[in-house]
Structure 1
Amino acid sequence: MQTIFVMVKCELGRSYEVADEAVELEQISEVHSISGQYDLMLKCYLDDGVDIGQFVVDHIQMLPGVKDTFTLIAFKAFA
């Protein structure tokens, strides 16, 4: 299992709409509203072997209202 975090910049006034659509995707476990340069942070779990870039392009960047993304790949979770 691969864990990635995707920060999303939304079109003005569309953050809640994007968040509502994102939580419907099976691979996205959490959607957080954040401050700063980006509006949302998505925690995603992808099966091993799934192309991360292709997932982001095909599923997250295609959500209506998404303007920009920034992807972080997580290597290890600490308890």
Structure 2
Amino acid sequence: MQNAVILINAEKGQVKAVAERLADIEGVSEVYSTCGRYDLVAIVRTRDFESLADLVTGRLNAVEGIRDTETLNAMQVHSRHDLETMFSLGW
């Protein structure tokens, strides 16, 4: 499993619409609106690196209203939850 955090800035007045569009993309598990330097934070979980690359360079780029992004690729996941099991069961 490939995990990433994507930091997103939206065009003015587009934060909610962009968040809703992102939440509909397969592989995007959560989208948070935030205050501060970035408008949105998307948590992404994909099967492998190629799927992540497709999501970021293909499907994410097609979302209208995104001004810029920064993708943080997770090297290791430190969690009390067994994320692999949760997502393989469809949670």
Common topology (TM > 0.5): yes
> Quick one: percent identity of the two aligned structures?
29
Cα deviations by residue, 1:39-60 (Å, 9 ceiling, x for unpaired): 0000001112425344212111
Task: Give the aligned partner of residue 39 of structure 1.
Answer: 39
Task: Give the aligned partner of residue 50 of structure 2.
Answer: 50
- The structure richer in helix per residue is 2
Cα deviations by residue, 1:53-76 (Å, 9 ceiling, x for unpaired): 442121112200000001111122
- The structure richer in strand per residue is 1
**Higher normalized contact order (CA 8 Å, seq sep 6+, divided by chain length):** 1
Corresponding pairs, count: 79
Task: Give the aligned partner of residue 28 of structure 1.
Answer: 28
Answer yes or no: is the 8 Å Cα contact 1:61–1:68 preserved in 2.
no
Question: Within 2, Cα distance between the matches of 1:44 and 1:65?
Answer: 19
Question: Within 2, Cα distance between the matches of 1:52 and 1:25?
Answer: 12
Answer yes or no: is the 8 Å Cα contact 1:61–1:69 preserved in 2.
no
Tell me the TM-score normalised to structure 2 length: 0.78
Tell me the TM-score normalised to structure 1 length: 0.89
Matched, 1:63 2:70: no
Q: Which sections of structure 1, spanning at least 5 residues, go unmatched?
A: none
What's the RMSD between the two structures over aligned residues?
1.4
Q: Which sections of structure 2, spanning at least 5 residues, go unmatched?
A: 81-91
Structure 1 segments of 4+ aligned residues over 2 angstroms from their partners: 51-55
